[in-house]
Amino acid sequence: MFRKKLFVLKQPFMFLFSWRPFPWYELISYVAMYASVPMLAYGIHIYSWEVIRTIVFTILTLYSGFFAALIWNDITDADVDAVVHPNRPVPRGRISPRKFFTVALVFSAMTFVFAVFISLWCLLLVGVAALFVTFHNKYLKRVVGIPAYSEIFTPLQWVVVPIFGYLAVFSNPMFLSQKIMFS
């Protein structure tokens, strides 16, 4: 038991790859999905380093937010996961909820920092999404009496991806100053 916890602390990336059974092609497909929205919003233009930087920060922001939301969910649903998904790290004892909370905070902080590098509107969207996810995980899951409420809510979370991608382009001062959005 102690050895497995030590593994989490010594090799955090290996732990993240083994924490949920995501196939490698699914993890790669998220990169393509996160990159596609700002690329579609930007349109067919020559991609400068600034555009590529915005796309990279969009990918980093959305990916770190994705991991943060999943970790928050695993922490708040540990009692449910003990029955439904007993192989997940918290019910299995591979990591304590407190240490996993620290990992979630790191990913959450990364999400906010990467969003700042794009625009203040992206930062605001990340903040609103984080508050909504927190409120959902801590309170709404337990209070709302609609069957399969979480399964209804999760697709709503994914709406953040296209909104963020368009905000990354249309609220970015570099794009606004060049007036290339509508040319």
Tell which phi-psi region holds residue 102, choosing left (phi > 0), alpha (psi between -120 and 50) or beta: alpha
Tens-place pLDDT, residues 33-81: 999 989 888 888 888 888 899 999 999 999 999 999 888 888 888 888 8
Domains of the chain: 37-178 (1.10.357.140)
CA distances from 149 to 55, 78, 122, 153, 165 (A): 33, 17, 27, 6, 26
Tens-place pLDDT, residues 24-38: 888 889 999 999 989
